């Protein structure tokens, strides 16, 4: 039969009745009883922390009020005053108003009252400017309910890591050490710093403007090709000009020739140079035209561009290309 060493003999006499009120499946009850007895043995040996582990395991298997009271007593002896106080409060709540458990109620209430003046507290201050959307506060990894913010909460003595996290904001953390008895510490959660926003490049609404992403490069594949073709055209035009200048000089020499044979030879040479000049200019003109077409048709697509249209134009006075669109 379970007993608790710190209560009166009348309380021990009622233990049998309480055991009958907390029924558990046979297998779990056996484990619970074994752990309970081990806890009592360890307490007698002064191995308080190990005893608390045994009592805690027993209570999880079979939540009997006698086990809870022993667990509370163990936690108090182990210096975990806030935890012990909470267990005594829970034992008083479970037995309140039950005539056959009145002695348990009185014991739990008295023990809780004696502990209350020894408790230590930790307050986590979360000002309005720190309350961003999705904010979570944890204490040693355990979530702190928002109802506990800005309030003195009893805690066991020790070192606590307080962390704050929220989507799109830099995480924050700090550590605070609370004394075992009659201590009060506070932590102030600061204003959170926003993380740099990243452009998604799709869907609109991004930080990069109405398009939601970076503007596409002006130098598309076609435009790069246009620059190459234009370069060829410029070189061809320069070459044609060089041949034209050479042809002009040779024509002048032909007019000044003293013999008919020299005149004919120089004139043929000049005509050849002039033909090469015309070819160079023609190639240059075609290349520049092709480059223009490639440049305008190779414009990057964007929501703001209305597109580019290139069409040939022929009329009685001549021909050419008509380019329309927004650039």
Has residue 213 been placed in a domain?
no
Has residue 32 been placed in a domain?
yes
The residue to which tokens 């596409």 are assigned = 216
Q: Which residue did the predictor score with more confidence, 140 or 215? A: 140
Q: Which residue did the predictor score with more confidence, 57 or 302? A: 57
DSSP 58-72: HHHHS--HHHHHHHH
Has residue 204 been placed in a domain?
no
Whether the CA torsion 70, 73, 78, 79 is positive or negative: it is positive
Nearest-angstrom CA–CA distance, 130 and 152: 19
Phi (first) and psi of residue 315, to 5 degrees: -150, 170
Has residue 232 been placed in a domain?
yes
Same domain for 280 and 183, yes or no, is: no
259-291 pLDDT, tens digit per residue, is: 877 777 878 887 887 888 789 778 888 888 887
| Percent of residues, the chain, with pLDDT higher than 90 | 51
Same domain for 47 and 133, yes or no, is: no
Q: Specify the 3-state DSSP secondary structure of 122.
A: strand
Q: Domain ends where: 98, 116, 134?
A: 116
**What does the block give as tokens for 29?**
């009850």
Same domain for 79 and 165, yes or no, is: no
Q: Which residue did the predictor score with more confidence, 314 or 67? A: 67
Same domain for 19 and 108, yes or no, is: yes
Has residue 154 been placed in a domain?
yes
Contact 15, 1 (CB under 8 A): yes
Has residue 306 been placed in a domain?
yes
- State mean pLDDT over 198-211: 50
- State mean pLDDT over 101-106: 96
Contact 76, 64 (CB under 8 A): no
CATH at 51: 1.25.40.10
Q: Which of 178, 115, 114 is nearest to 152 (CA)?
A: 178
- State mean pLDDT over 137-158: 97
The residue to which tokens 């890591």 are assigned = 161
Contact 176, 115 (CB under 8 A): no
Same domain for 40 and 98, yes or no, is: yes
Asked whether residue 98 carries a pLDDT value surpassing 60, the answer given is yes
Same domain for 246 and 162, yes or no, is: no
What are the CB-based long-range contacts (under 8 Å, 24+) for 9-18?
Answer: 10/103, 11/103, 11/104, 11/107, 14/100, 14/101, 14/103, 14/104, 15/66, 17/100, 17/101, 18/64, 18/65, 18/66, 18/100, 18/101, 18/104
What count of residues does the chain have? Answer: 327
170-197 pLDDT, tens digit per residue, is: 999 999 999 999 999 999 999 999 999 8
Asked whether residue 245 carries a pLDDT value surpassing 70, the answer given is yes
Same domain for 110 and 41, yes or no, is: yes
The residue to which tokens 């050419």 are assigned = 320
Same domain for 174 and 97, yes or no, is: no
In which element (H, E) is residue 320 found?
strand 318-325
Enclosing domain of residue 126 = 120-188
In which element (H, E) is residue 107 found?
helix 102-116
Has residue 206 been placed in a domain?
no
CATH at 137: 2.60.40
Q: Domain ends where: 116, 143, 176?
A: 116
Q: Domain ends where: 116, 133, 166?
A: 116
Has residue 50 been placed in a domain?
yes
Residues 6+ apart with CB under 8 A from 194: 168, 169, 170
- State mean pLDDT over 12-24: 44
Q: Specify the 3-state DSSP secondary structure of 175.
A: strand
Neighbours of 112 (CB within 10 A): 19
Same domain for 37 and 112, yes or no, is: yes
Same domain for 245 and 317, yes or no, is: yes
Residues 6+ apart with CB under 8 A from 131: none
| Number of domains into which the chain is organized | 3
Distances (CA, A) of 44 to 5, 41, 48, 269, 322: 10, 5, 9, 125, 103
Residues β-bridged to residue 314: 319
Nearest-angstrom CA–CA distance, 180 and 177: 10
Mean model confidence pLDDT for the chain? 82
Centroid of chain to Cα 326: 40
Same domain for 44 and 103, yes or no, is: yes
Same domain for 110 and 140, yes or no, is: no
């Amino acid at each position: 039969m379970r007993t608790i060493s710190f209560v009166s003999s009348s309380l021990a006499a009622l233990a049998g009745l309480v055991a009958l009120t907390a029924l558990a499946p046979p297998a779990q009850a056996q484990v619970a009883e074994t752990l309970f007895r081990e806890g009592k043995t360890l307490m007698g040996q002064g191995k308080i922390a190990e005893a608390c582990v045994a009592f805690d395991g027993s209570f999880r298997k079979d939540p009997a009020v006698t086990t809870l009271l022993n667990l509370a007593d163990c936690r108090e002896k182990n210096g975990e005053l806030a935890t012990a106080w909470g267990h005594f409060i829970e034992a008083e709540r479970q037995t309140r108003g039950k005539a056959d458990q009145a002695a348990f109620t009185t014991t739990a209430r008295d023990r809780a009252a004696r502990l209350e003046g020894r408790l230590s507290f930790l307050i986590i201050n979360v000002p309005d400017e720190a309350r961003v959307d999705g904010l979570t506060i944890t204490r040693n990894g355990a979530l702190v309910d928002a109802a506990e913010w800005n309030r003195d909460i009893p805690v066991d003595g020790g070192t606590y890591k307080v962390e704050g996290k929220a989507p799109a904001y830099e995480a924050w953390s700090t550590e605070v050490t609370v004394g075992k008895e009659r201590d009060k510490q506070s932590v102030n959660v600061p204003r959170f710093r926003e993380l740099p926003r990243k452009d998604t490049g799709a869907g609109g609404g991004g930080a990069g403007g109405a398009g939601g992403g970076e503007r596409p490069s002006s130098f598309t594949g076609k435009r790069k090709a246009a620059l190459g073709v234009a370069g060829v055209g410029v070189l061809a035009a320069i070459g044609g000009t060089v041949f034209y200048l050479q042809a002009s000089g040779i024509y002048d020499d032909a007019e000044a020739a003293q013999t008919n044979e020299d005149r004919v030879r120089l004139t043929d040479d000049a005509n050849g140079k002039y033909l090469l000049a015309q070819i160079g200019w023609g190639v240059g003109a075609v290349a520049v035209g092709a480059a223009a077409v490639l440049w305008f048709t190779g414009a990057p697509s964007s929501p703001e561009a209305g597109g580019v249209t290139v069409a040939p134009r022929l009329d009685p006075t001549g021909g050419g290309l008509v380019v329309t669109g927004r650039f």
